[in-house]
C-alpha cells in the first residue's frame, strides 16, 4: 500500500506568467519514454513482480522505496506543467477567442483536452504507453535496465533545462537532476553488490556534474545527492545494506533517512473560466457548501 502526503517533493516558485511551449517541452519529462511515468511504472511493476523478496530483501527494498519517490516525481513534473500554463489565455466572451494563443502553441492538446494542465504524454503529444515498462523477472537485468533508464532520464532533463530558462522549469529540473543522479548511483551500487562490476566508474553520464547547473547546485549543497529515503517509517530499511559508503562524485557519506522529505505546498490552481474549469460558479459553491454542512 502507499501512504499519500499532500505536499510536493519541493516548493515550486509561483510564476507571474507561464510559457506554453516550455510546458510542451517539459511534457517529455513526464510522459516521454524516459519520463517520470516510465521510471514510476518500471519500478512499480518490478517491485510488484519481485521474486524471492525475503531472500533478496535489500534489492527489493531499494526498488520498492524508489518506486514511492517516483510517484512524487510524477506529481512534481505535472504541477510544473500546470504552473507553466499560467496566464497563457484570458477570460472573455467566446466570440473574441479567449483561447487564441492555443492555436500557435506546440501542444494545442493542452488547451483543448486538459484545460491547460499536465497530460500523460510526451513533448510531441504521443500518449504514454505501458510498452515502456520493462520487468523481466531477472534481478541483474532489471537493475541494469533501471541504471540505463535513469541515465537516459538525466540526459533528457539536461537538454530540456537548456531549452528553457523559465524559473518553474529550472527549479523542478534542478531538483530532479540531483535525485535522478542519486537513483543512478543506487542502481550502480546494487549491481556492484550483485555482480562485482563497479559501474560508478562510468559516472556521471553525460559527463557533466550537477553542480554545473545553477538550479541543481543548491540541492547538491543540501546533500540531497547523498540521501535515499525509505518512504516508510518501518519498512524497506534493507536499502541500508546497499546504500552505504561514500558518494564517488563528492566523497561524502551516504545516508538513509527513514521516512520522507519535508516537501513543499501543492499549488492551488486558479479558475479558468475561458476553459470552463472547474465549472463551479459562486452560486454553485454556496449551494455545495450548504450541502456539505448539512447534518453536521
Q: Quickly state the pLDDT bin for 283 (edges 50, 70, 90).
A: confident
What is the mean predicted confidence (pLDDT) over 154-169? 98
Q: Is 252 helix (H, G, I), strand (E, B) or coil?
A: coil
Using alpha carbons, list the distances in angstroms from residue 274 to 18, 110, 123: 16, 13, 24
φ/ψ bin of 134: left (φ > 0), alpha (ψ from -120 to 50), beta (otherwise): beta
Q: Quickly state the pLDDT bin for 272 (edges 50, 70, 90).
A: very high
The domain defined by 7-293 folds into Ferritin (1.20.1260)
Find out whether 211 and 116 touch, Cβ atoms under 8 Å: no
Cα angle value 197/188/154 (rounded, 5°): 135
pLDDT at 43: 98
Kindly report which listed range (227-236, 255-264, 283-292) carries the lowest average pLDDT score.
283-292
Alpha carbons 153 and 39: distance in angstroms, whole number: 9
Alpha carbons 23 and 241: distance in angstroms, whole number: 40
Q: Is 192 helix (H, G, I), strand (E, B) or coil?
A: helix
Using alpha carbons, list the distances in angstroms from residue 271 to 42, 80, 103, 242, 265: 35, 17, 21, 47, 18
Cα angle value 171/20/22 (rounded, 5°): 40
Annotated binding site for Mn(2+): 36, 70, 73, 150, 183
- E runs forming strands in the chain: 227-229, 255-257
pTM over 0.85? The answer is: yes
Name 277's bridge partners.
272
What is the mean predicted confidence (pLDDT) over 105-121? 96
The torsion angles phi and psi of 181, rounded to 5 degrees, stand at -60, -35
Give the burial string for 9-21 (b: 16+ CB within 10 Å, else e).
bbebeebeebbbb
Output the average pLDDT for the chain.
Answer: 96
What is the mean predicted confidence (pLDDT) over 137-147? 98
Annotated binding site for Ca(2+): 61, 232
Annotated binding site: 36, 61, 70, 73, 150, 183, 232
Q: How many CA within 13 A on the CB side of residue 260?
A: 20
Using alpha carbons, list the distances in angstroms from residue 234 to 35, 81, 259, 295: 29, 34, 8, 39
Q: Quickly state the pLDDT bin for 38 (edges 50, 70, 90).
A: very high
Domain ranges of the chain: 7-293
**What residues have CB less than 8 Å from 85, skipping those under 6 apart?**
18, 20, 23, 110, 116, 117
pLDDT at 285: 83
* 296 has pLDDT over 80: no
Amino acid at each position: 500500500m502507499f501512504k499519500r502526503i499532500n505536499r510536493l517533493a519541493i516548493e515550486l516558485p509561483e510564476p507571474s506568467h507561464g510559457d506554453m511551449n516550455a510546458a510542451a517541452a517539459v511534457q517529455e519529462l513526464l510522459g516521454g519514454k524516459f519520463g517520470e511515468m516510465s521510471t514510476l511504472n518500471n519500478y512499480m511493476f518490478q517491485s510488484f513482480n519481485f521474486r524471492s523478496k525475503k531472500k533478496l530483501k535489500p534489492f527489493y527494498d531499494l526498488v520498492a522505496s524508489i518506486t514511492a519517490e517516483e510517484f512524487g516525481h510524477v506529481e512534481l513534473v505535472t504541477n510544473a506543467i500546470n504552473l507553466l500554463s499560467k496566464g497563457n489565455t484570458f477570460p472573455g466572451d467566446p466570440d473574441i477567442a479567449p483561447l487564441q494563443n492555443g492555436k500557435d502553441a506546440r501542444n494545442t492538446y493542452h488547451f483543448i483536452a486538459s484545460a491547460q494542465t499536465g497530460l500523460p504524454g510526451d513533448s510531441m503529444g504521443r500518449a504514454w504507453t505501458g510498452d515502456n515498462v520493462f520487468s523481466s523477472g531477472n534481478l541483474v537485468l532489471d537493475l541494469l535496465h533501471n541504471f540505463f533508464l535513469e541515465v537516459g532520464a538525466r540526459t533528457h532533463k539536461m537538454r530540456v533545462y537548456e531549452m528553457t530558462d523559465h524559473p518553474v522549469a529550472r527549479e523542478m529540473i534542478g531538483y530532479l537532476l540531483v535525485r535522478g543522479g542519486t537513483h543512478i548511483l543506487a542502481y550502480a551500487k546494487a549491481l556492484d553488490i550483485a555482480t562485482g562490476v563497479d559501474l560508478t566508474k562510468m559516472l556521471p553520464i553525460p559527463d557533466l556534474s550537477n553542480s554545473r547547473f545553477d538550479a541543481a547546485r543548491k540541492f547538491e549543497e543540501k546533500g540531497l545527492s547523498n540521501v535515499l529515503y525509505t518512504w516508510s517509517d518501518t519498512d524497506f530499511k534493507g536499502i541500508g545494506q546497499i546504500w552505504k559508503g561514500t558518494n564517488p562524485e563528492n566523497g561524502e557519506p551516504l545516508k538513509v533517512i527513514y521516512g520522507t522529505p519535508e516537501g513543499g505546498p501543492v499549488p492551488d490552481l486558479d479558475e479558468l473560466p475561458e476553459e470552463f474549469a472547474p465549472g463551479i460558479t459562486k452560486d454553485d459553491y454556496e449551494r455545495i457548501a450548504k450541502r456539505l454542512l448539512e447534518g453536521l
